[in-house]
């Protein structure tokens, strides 16, 4: 958006300031929320519906079940189907957040770290990278 800036008594715009979109990052974090702006954001301070805030908080609680906190080195301990559903829920919520926040916000997808191996596809082989 571009906003005129006025000075003096005339109120005549003499310059314009381009107000950039607010850039957020959507990535769940243990013990925090999923929306970030360099720091975790309080959902209630954003123009989000109460229903979406409720769904985001429920999704965030699910993130706490990824690890066995007595042995976090094990990695993701959830059954594959549960991990896949959690990731897909995150994608749906990301789209809902983008829709509700609208054009004044850019929300980057940071869900890759919770994407299950089963949904990542095959890694590229060396011949695919360097065909001869």
Contact 67, 78 (CB under 8 A): no
Read off the pLDDT of residues 23-76 as tens digits, 9 standing for 90 and up.
Answer: 999 999 888 999 999 999 999 999 999 999 999 999 999 888 887 788 888 888
Going through 32-131 in order, the beta strands assigned E by DSSP cover 35-36, 105-109
Q: Does residue 132 form part of some domain?
A: no
3-class SS of residue 12: coil
The whole-model pTM stands at 0.75
Residue 131 within a domain: no
Is 35 among the domain residues? Answer: yes
In a domain, 74, yes or no: yes
**Phi, psi of 10, deg, nearest 5:** -75, -25
Residue 38 domain-assigned? yes
Residue 29 lies in a domain: yes
- Model pLDDT for residues 3-14, shown as the tens digit of each residue: 555 555 555 555
pLDDT number for residue 64: 82
Whether residue 112 lies inside any domain: the answer is: yes
93-120 tens-digit pLDDT: 999 999 999 999 999 999 999 999 999 8
Give residue 66's domain range.
Answer: 2-116
Q: Does residue 62 sit within a domain? A: yes
How many domains does the chain contain in total?
Answer: 1
Confidence check: pLDDT of 18 > 50 = no
């Amino acid at each position: 958006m571009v906003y005129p800036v006025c000075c003096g008594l005339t109120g005549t715009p003499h310059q314009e300031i381009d107000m950039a979109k607010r850039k957020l990052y959507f990535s769940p974090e243990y013990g925090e929320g999923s929306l970030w702006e360099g720091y975790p954001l309080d959902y209630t301070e954003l123009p989000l519906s109460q229903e979406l805030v409720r769904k985001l908080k429920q999704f965030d609680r699910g993130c706490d079940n990824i690890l066995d906190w007595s042995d976090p080195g094990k990695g993701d301990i959830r059954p594959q189907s549960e991990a896949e559903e959690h990731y897909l829920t995150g994608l749906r919520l990301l789209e809902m957040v983008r829709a509700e926040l609208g054009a004044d916000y850019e929300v980057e997808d940071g869900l890759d770290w919770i994407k299950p191996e089963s949904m990542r596809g095959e890694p590229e082989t060396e011949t695919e990278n360097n065909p001869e």
